[in-house]
Amino acid sequence: MPSDTRERVLATARDLVHAASYADVGVDDVCRAAGVRKGSLYHFFPSKAELGLAVLERDWELMSGVLDDAFGREEPPLERLDRFVASFVALMGAMARRLGAVPGCPIGNLATELPAVGGPLGERVADVLGRYVTRVADTVRDAQARGDVARDLDPVGLALSVVAVVQGTAALARAHDDLTLLADLATTVRRLLPPG
Amino acid sequence: MPSDTRERVLATARDLVHAASYADVGVDDVCRAAGVRKGSLYHFFPSKAELGLAVLERDWELMSGVLDDAFGREEPPLERLDRFVASFVALMGAMARRLGAVPGCPIGNLATELPAVGGPLGERVADVLGRYVTRVADTVRDAQARGDVARDLDPVGLALSVVAVVQGTAALARAHDDLTLLADLATTVRRLLPPG
DNA sequence: CTCCTACTTGACCGATCGGTCAAGTTCCGT
DNA sequence: ACGGAACTTGACCGATCGGTCAAGTAGGAG
């Protein structure tokens, strides 16, 4: 099996960062919570920023899994999008239960914080967001091909608005620590994808 | 006239925070940029958190001004919403030019960062966001009264989705440092408000 | 058994963090 | 001219920050 320590550090960092924020979580905090000495952490991660990036990458794997699960089904594209939104909301609920507070969209939170560090970090954040939008755009295109969504609209632009509203709603839910704000998200997303 | 120093500190802090982030800007940074000694800063603001809060409040005044300007006109409500979005996009452009990088929605950025500090801070952040949504909801109600927007939909829910998509799109624009992502925002917002 | 690599330990570092304070200085009303 | 409040100054504080390192230990390959 792969190093247990590395995994524990990463998982712990993820929880702490989402419960609070990247800036508010110190390396010492992660070590304490993971039961690991600092030297070990730095054996696996060259810097705090790289650890943060690893958290982002792990979050993307999670989102990617949700997307795979929803978009890989044998259903009309718009229903696949519904599934995605439902899974996203369920994920928020699960995280809220585990962390004791409503987190925002994990990707969105880190995307807001990490670029501030500047440099190559920002590019990788933008890259992850790009992959996210691309995945949604692919399904929007499917819907357009079937005539479920107006064909004259730019699928990437539509996907961008979908991601934006999902991320923005999650951010509001986090700020109010209120999961119910996510209740109508599926309906809202549908509204952004007008039939032809 | 009111204290010049306090104003300079606040304005400087606002710029620095939006160019980077609340966590990344130290009290020393603000002092250096504002040409003020630390003792002076602490004469006007009891803590860094309170300074952050003052920045948020100032940002709200700015947004509030934009909302007043757009919503106070003698136009159909949906056109007033268009005006608001256009002004918001223009504001982003102006800030991007001044700061050298695309900021996100000022309110949204601080809303993502400040609650992490925890405690009474979070409530005031939520309060500002609430005022924001309320203002939009009022105009949505106007539109519903005229029959421009479906009357059976919850105006607060609709307003929430509008704020979410504006904030989310701004966040994406910031992450990509690309103002053009805001280009179609008005169209997107309109889609969220279906005619009756 | 030996040797080397992977990993862990705990002490340590300089820098920076937010914040304090006593001693000024400036400015105003009286 | 005086007194006091408002404000500024610069030195200072302890804590915490991210990060380093020499010395260990564990464990598999030969």
Contact between the CB of A47 and strand D at under 7 Å: yes
Contact at 8 Å (CB) between A167 and A110?
no
B109-167 pLDDT, tens per residue? 999 888 765 677 788 899 999 999 999 999 999 999 999 999 999 999 999 999 999 99
- pLDDT value of position A121: 78
Q: Which residue has the tokens 């704020």?
A: B163
pTM for the model stands at: 0.94
Question: Mean per-residue pLDDT for A87-112?
Answer: 95
Does pLDDT of B196 surpass 50? yes
**A184: which 2 tokens?**
């109508």
**Res. B80 pLDDT band, cuts 50 70 90:** very high
Inspect the interface and report whether the beta carbons of B168 and A23 lie closer than 8 Å. no
**Predicted confidence band of residue A96 (pLDDT cuts 50, 70, 90):** very high
How confident is the model at residue A118, as a pLDDT?
63
The number of C-alpha atoms within 13 Å of B127 and in the hemisphere containing its C-beta is 8
**Residue-wise pLDDT tens digits, B6-40:** 999 999 999 999 999 999 999 999 999 999 999 99
Q: Which long-range contacts (CB under 8 A, 24 or more apart) does B46-52 make?
A: B49/B114, B49/B117, B49/B121, B51/B9, B51/B10, B51/B13, B51/B27, B52/B13, B52/B17, B52/B22, B52/B110, B52/B114, B52/B121
Q: Would you say residue B191 has pLDDT above 50?
A: yes
Minimum distance, in Å, between the CA of residue A3 and any CA atom of chain B: 31
Q: Is the pLDDT of residue B176 over 80?
A: yes
Residue among A16, A26, A92 at smallest CA distance from A55: A16
B2 CA from D5 C1′ (Å): 16
User: A37 CA to D25 C1', in Å?
Assistant: 15
- In tens, the pLDDT along B31-79 reads 999 999 999 999 999 999 999 999 999 999 999 999 999 999 999 999 9
The C1' atom of C4 and the CA atom of A5 lie apart, in whole Å, by 21
CA of B22 to C1' of D6 (A): 29
Q: How far apart are CA A42 and CA A47, in angstroms?
A: 7
Average pLDDT, integer, range B79-85: 97
Residue nearest to nucleotide C17 (CA to C1'): B26
On the question of pLDDT at A72 being above 70, the answer is yes
Nucleotides of C under 7 A from a protein CB: 6-12, 16-22
Please say whether the beta carbons of A53 and A124 come within 8 A: yes
The pLDDT of residue B117: 57
pLDDT above 50 (res A1): no
Instruction: Provide the chain A residues 18-47 that lie in CB contact (below 8 A) with chain B.
Output: 20-24
CA–CA min distance B2, chain A (Å)? 33
Q: CB–CB of A164 and B157 under 8 A?
A: no
In angstroms, the CA A164 to CA A157 distance is 10
pLDDT digits (tens, 9 = 90+) for A117-129: 567 778 889 999 9
Judged by a CB distance cut-off of 8 A, whether residue B166 touches chain A is yes
pLDDT value of position A162: 98
CA atoms of B54 and B10, how far apart (whole Å):
7
> Mean pLDDT throughout A133-140?
98
Please give the pLDDT value at position B181: 98
